[in-house]
């Protein structure tokens, strides 16, 4: 056996803490090692060539690279082996960066650990067997989950390229948060005017199957070959007959506060379309608030519907679809302002949230675009806008929500436009305007006369001290640029609530086998180089589901996700990992424990022979069945018992040698 060992400095990332020269020299003395070298960047083309040349020159039959996590560069080095004619599975990586240099401070201890990890890989690699990746065809359909602007963009890109898209949206209409907005910063174009054409295009596209009022319940399979089960909730409207005339909505006597689209500022009926430009145009009956469903009388809508389209008997439908790729674009939730009690939301009527204010300034909203107090009539003379509500606060959300500064500036502008005599105060910690034309927009607001007070607002209270404060809300804060406390009496306060992960992001992540980062937003494959893919091949993320961002960035990410999907479809087939489980027919007793344990339902039971069999196309090589099998009949290739035991032995032997007892 001829093994080559290559120790990487990773610039100073490894060499800064680990003595790479010592590791190299030590590894050179290990059993079977033919060459041992170190290099500044093994992943560079020169580093790769080094391996390739050694394989040819020394006739190496195994390669160990001691460097970073296999996550990023295993494919790099496998390819290098393959180019030099070696089966790629004859490569092992020892992770001496994440597992040694980055997590230890003491140089000699880190070096010892690096040696042990390298020795473990050397001991293991001799048992590695040649494996061959399989190619599998790609289903050309795509599932897009979430019909906000991210999902809309992604769906249109793919559909326009000629491939079919299933767009699944939970609410009765697509559009997401952007449909609620009035104007959009920094250009102030009307949100509906730019979004509705896109929504309409989605609704009428021959390549898009739009499933609204629907949710994905289960996904199985793997890249190129997913199966998804979708629940299409009963709208109680016969879509064949409904013309979208809206008579039902007009006649329905049940009125409720609309906490979704109107953000609580307005009301809707039990049968409703969230907004006039909704796509699709069909209303839904909200069964929780419908008098017929709750009390067994009414049916007013049915009486008045001119086309007999109301169908109280409708049931949820379950749809099974097959797709090759999935894009998850489920967006964000707005922070619940009630959690910060000192701002008095839900206590003082004239404290509003940002989304409420969006609806208020919207000409199609509950106040027809008039900026008024909670009484619905009085115009405010003074307005305070409080930045960072729920953001930049370790007790709530540590992150900066990225859009609040800009939309707060937008709000100030809207007030100046609608109420030229009103005074607008912005309470901020830092004004963050990183975007094209964003800083210019801030300057414009300075010129328009917005009052900026640098200090996180401490509280909003109705406790007044002077006659001038009487009847007002008082915002208290330190004006940090002056170094003194200030009390600013206002008629209205707007809380610029941050963007947080969807309340159900963890459950949704589980359905698609992806994970969440600490905050709860979906975790990308790499924060810089791959913010679109996830650790599950074939599942991509786009928009605020991955982290807070504005509309331009959301659209870019939606399009980028589509491009990734199109490149997979274009390729036509995908390589399937060769590390698969296999059942030994001779010892299998047919107990079916493995079948229950497999998270991918990749094991079947052969009735006539009373044996288990792994369906190769479905197996992900996770190894759960290996642990579950009582008769030790399952082998996971590339993770055989022999390989793992050798690896542990290698590490232990090295430690006995390195660390004196």
Partner 1 sequence: MTLNPNSVYGRIISELHGGEKLRSCLQCGMCGGSCPSGPDMDHTPRKLFAMIAAGQDDEVLRSNTFWYCVSCYLCTVRCPQEIPITDIMYHLKHQAIQAGLYTTDAVDFSETFIGHVENYGRAFEFGLATQFYLAHHPLGGLKMGPMALAMLSRGRLNLRPTRIKAVRQLRNILNKAKEIGARG
Partner 2 sequence: MKYAYYPGCSAESSASAYDATSQMVAAALGLELEEIKDWNCCGATEYFSIDSLPAYALVARNLALAGRQGTSEVIAPCSACYVNLKKVDERMGDYPQLNSDVNEALAAGNLSYTPGSVRARHLLDVICNEVGCDAVSEKVVRPLAGLTLVPYYGCYIGRPEGGFDDVENPQTLDRLLKGLGATVPDYSLKSSCCGGHMTQIGTEVALGILRGLIDLAAKLGADAMVVACPMCQLNLDVYQNQLNSHFGTTYRMPIVYFTQMMALALGMEAAELKFEEGLVPAGPMLEKWQAAEASPQPRKKKSKKALPMPEPLDGGDSG
Ligand X SMILES: Cc1cc2nc3c(=O)[nH]c(=O)nc-3n(C[C@H](O)[C@H](O)[C@H](O)COP(=O)(O)OP(=O)(O)OC[C@H]3O[C@@H](n4cnc5c(N)ncnc54)[C@H](O)[C@@H]3O)c2cc1C
Q: Give the footprint of partner 2 on this chain (CB under 8 A).
A: 257, 264-267, 336, 338-342, 344-347, 349, 366-367, 372, 374-377, 461-465
**CB of 467 or CB of 660, closer to partner 2:** 467
**CB of 460 or CB of 532, closer to partner 2:** 460
Beta carbon of residue 134, minimum distance to partner 2 (angstroms, whole number): 52
Residue with tokens 């998804």: 228
**480 part of the interface to partner 1, by CB under 8 A:** yes
C-alpha span between 81 and 91 (Å, rounded): 7
Beta carbon of residue 193, minimum distance to ligand X (angstroms, whole number): 13
Residue with tokens 């810089």: 528
Q: Which does 332 bind (CB under 5 to 8 A by kind): ligand X, partner 1, partner 2, none?
A: ligand X
Is 87 strand, coil or helix? coil
- CA 157 from centroid of its chain's CA atoms: 19
Is 295 strand, coil or helix? helix
36, containing H or E segment = strand 33-39
- Segment interacting with partner 1 (CB under 8 A) among 102-110, 294-302, 471-479, 557-565: 471-479
The arrangement of strands across the sheet holding 33-39 comes to 33-39, 3-8, 62-67, 91-95
- Segment interacting with partner 1 (CB under 8 A) among 120-128, 168-176, 456-464, 529-537: 456-464
**CB of 394 or CB of 661, closer to partner 1:** 394
**# residues contacting partner 1 (CB under 8 A):** 20
CB-CB neighbours of 48 under 10 Å: 23
C-alpha span between 194 and 278 (Å, rounded): 14
Q: From the list 429, 559, 595, 644, which residue makes contact with partner 1 (rule: CB under 8 A)?
A: 429
C-alpha span between 519 and 649 (Å, rounded): 39
**605 part of the interface to partner 1, by CB under 8 A:** no
C-alpha span between 53 and 37 (Å, rounded): 13
Beta carbon of residue 237, minimum distance to ligand X (angstroms, whole number): 19
Beta carbon of residue 358, minimum distance to ligand X (angstroms, whole number): 5
Q: From the list 324, 455, 543, 558, which residue makes contact with partner 1 (rule: CB under 8 A)?
A: 455
Q: Which does 141 bind (CB under 5 to 8 A by kind): partner 1, partner 2, ligand X, none?
A: none
Beta carbon of residue 286, minimum distance to ligand X (angstroms, whole number): 15
C-alpha span between 19 and 117 (Å, rounded): 14
Residue with tokens 């170094």: 483
C-alpha span between 280 and 552 (Å, rounded): 25
Beta carbon of residue 530, minimum distance to partner 1 (angstroms, whole number): 30
Beta carbon of residue 283, minimum distance to partner 2 (angstroms, whole number): 21
Q: What one-character-per-residue DSSP string does 172-211 give?
A: SSS-GGGGG-SEETTTTEEHHHHHHHHHHHHHH-TTEEEE
Residue with tokens 């839904």: 284
Q: Which parts of this chain interact with ligand X (CB under 6 A)? A: 145-151, 168-171, 176-178, 181, 184-185, 215, 329-332, 334, 354-355, 358, 403, 407, 410, 502, 508, 543-544, 549-552, 554
Beta carbon of residue 474, minimum distance to ligand X (angstroms, whole number): 24
C-alpha span between 563 and 154 (Å, rounded): 8
C-alpha span between 638 and 168 (Å, rounded): 38
**CB of 276 or CB of 552, closer to ligand X:** 552
Beta carbon of residue 147, minimum distance to ligand X (angstroms, whole number): 5
Indicate the pairing of strand 325-328 with strand 539-541.
parallel
Judging by beta carbons within 10 Å of its beta carbon (0-12, 13-18, 19+), is residue 481 exposed, middle or buried? exposed
Q: Which does 307 bind (CB under 5 to 8 A by kind): partner 2, partner 1, ligand X, none?
A: none
**341 part of the interface to partner 1, by CB under 8 A:** no
**CB of 94 or CB of 384, closer to partner 2:** 384
Q: Which does 330 bind (CB under 5 to 8 A by kind): partner 2, ligand X, partner 1, none?
A: ligand X
Q: Are the C-beta atoms of 33 and 3 separated by less than 8 Å? A: yes
Beta carbon of residue 384, minimum distance to partner 1 (angstroms, whole number): 13
**477 part of the interface to partner 1, by CB under 8 A:** yes
**CB of 367 or CB of 584, closer to partner 2:** 367
Q: Are the C-beta atoms of 637 and 622 separated by less than 8 Å? A: no
- CA 524 from centroid of its chain's CA atoms: 7
**CB of 135 or CB of 465, closer to partner 2:** 465
Q: Name the residues that contact partner 1, by CB under 8 A.
A: 342, 392-395, 429, 454-459, 476-480, 483-485
């Amino acid at each position: 056996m001829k093994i080559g060992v290559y120790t990487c400095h990773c610039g100073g990332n490894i060499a800064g803490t680990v003595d790479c020269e010592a590791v190299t020299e030590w590894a050179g003395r290990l059993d079977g090692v033919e060459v041992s070298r170190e290099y500044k960047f093994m992943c560079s083309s020169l580093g790769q060539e080094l391996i390739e040349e050694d394989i040819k020159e020394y006739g190496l039959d195994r390669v160990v690279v001691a460097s970073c996590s296999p996550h990023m560069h295993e494919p790099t080095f496998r390819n290098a082996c393959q180019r030099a004619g070696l089966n790629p599975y004859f490569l092992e990586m020892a992770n001496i960066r994440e597992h040694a240099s980055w997590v230890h401070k003491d140089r000699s201890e880190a070096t010892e650990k690096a040696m042990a990890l390298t020795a473990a890989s050397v001991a293991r690699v001799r048992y590695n067997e040649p494996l061959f990746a399989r190619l599998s065809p790609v289903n050309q359909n795509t599932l897009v989950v979430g019909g906000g602007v991210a999902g809309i963009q992604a769906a249109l890109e793919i559909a326009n390229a000629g491939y079919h898209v299933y767009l699944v949206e939970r609410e009765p209409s697509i559009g997401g948060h952007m449909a609620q907005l009035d104007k959009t910063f920094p250009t102030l174009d009307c949100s509906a005017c730019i979004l509705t054409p896109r929504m309409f295009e989605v609704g009428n596209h021959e390549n898009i199957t739009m499933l609204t009022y629907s949710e994905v319940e289960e996904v199985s399979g793997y890249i190129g070959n997913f199966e998804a089960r979708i629940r299409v909730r009963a709208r109680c409207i016969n879509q064949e007959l409904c013309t979208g005339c809206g008579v039902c909505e007009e006649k329905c006597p049940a009125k409720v506060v609309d906490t979704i689209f109107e953000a609580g500022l307005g009301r809707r009926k039990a049968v409703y379309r969230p907004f006039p430009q909704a796509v699709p145009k069909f209303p839904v009956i909200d069964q929780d608030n419908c008098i017929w469903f709750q009390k067994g009388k009414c049916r007013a809508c049915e009486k008045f519907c001119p086309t007999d389209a109301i169908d109280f008997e409708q049931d949820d439908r379950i749809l099974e679809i097959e797709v090759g790729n999935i894009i998850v674009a489920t967006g964000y939730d707005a922070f619940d302002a009630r959690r910060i009690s000192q701002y008095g939301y839900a206590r003082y009527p004239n404290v509003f949230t940002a989304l409420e204010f969006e609806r208020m300034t919207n000409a199609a909203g509950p106040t027809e675009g008039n900026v008024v107090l909670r009484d619905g009539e009085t115009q405010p003379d003074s307005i305070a806008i409080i930045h960072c509500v729920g953001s930049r606060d370790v007790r709530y959300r540590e992150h900066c929500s990225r859009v609040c500064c800009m939309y707060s500036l937008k709000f100030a502008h809207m007030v100046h436009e609608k109420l030229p005599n009103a005074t607008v105060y912005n309470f901020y910690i830092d004004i963050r305007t990183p975007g094209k034309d964003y800083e210019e927009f801030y300057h414009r607001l300075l010129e328009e006369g917005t009052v900026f007070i640098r200090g996180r607002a401490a509280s909003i209270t109705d406790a007044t001290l002077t006659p001038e404060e009487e009847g007002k809300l008082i915002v208290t804060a330190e004006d940090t640029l002056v170094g003194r406390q200030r009390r600013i009496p206002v008629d209205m306060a707007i809380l610029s609530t941050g963007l947080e992960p969807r309340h159900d992001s963890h459950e949704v992540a589980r359905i698609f086998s992806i994970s969440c980062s600490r905050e709860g937003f979906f975790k990308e494959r790499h924060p810089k180089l791959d913010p679109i893919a996830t650790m599950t091949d074939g599942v991509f993320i786009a928009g605020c589901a991955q982290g807070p961002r504005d509309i331009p960035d959301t659209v870019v990410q939606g399009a980028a996700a589509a491009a990734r999907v199109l490149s997979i479809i274009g390729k036509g087939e995908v390589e399937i990992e060769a590390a698969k489980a296999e059942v030994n027919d001779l010892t299998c007793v047919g107990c079916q424990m493995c079948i229950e344990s497999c998270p991918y339902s990749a094991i079947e039971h052969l009735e006539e022979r009373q044996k288990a069999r792994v369906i190769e196309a479905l197996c992900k090589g996770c190894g759960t069945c290996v642990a579950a099998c009582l008769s030790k009949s399952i082998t996971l290739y590339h993770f055989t018992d022999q390989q793992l035991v050798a690896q542990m032995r290698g590490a232990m032997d090295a430690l006995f040698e390195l660390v004196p007892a």
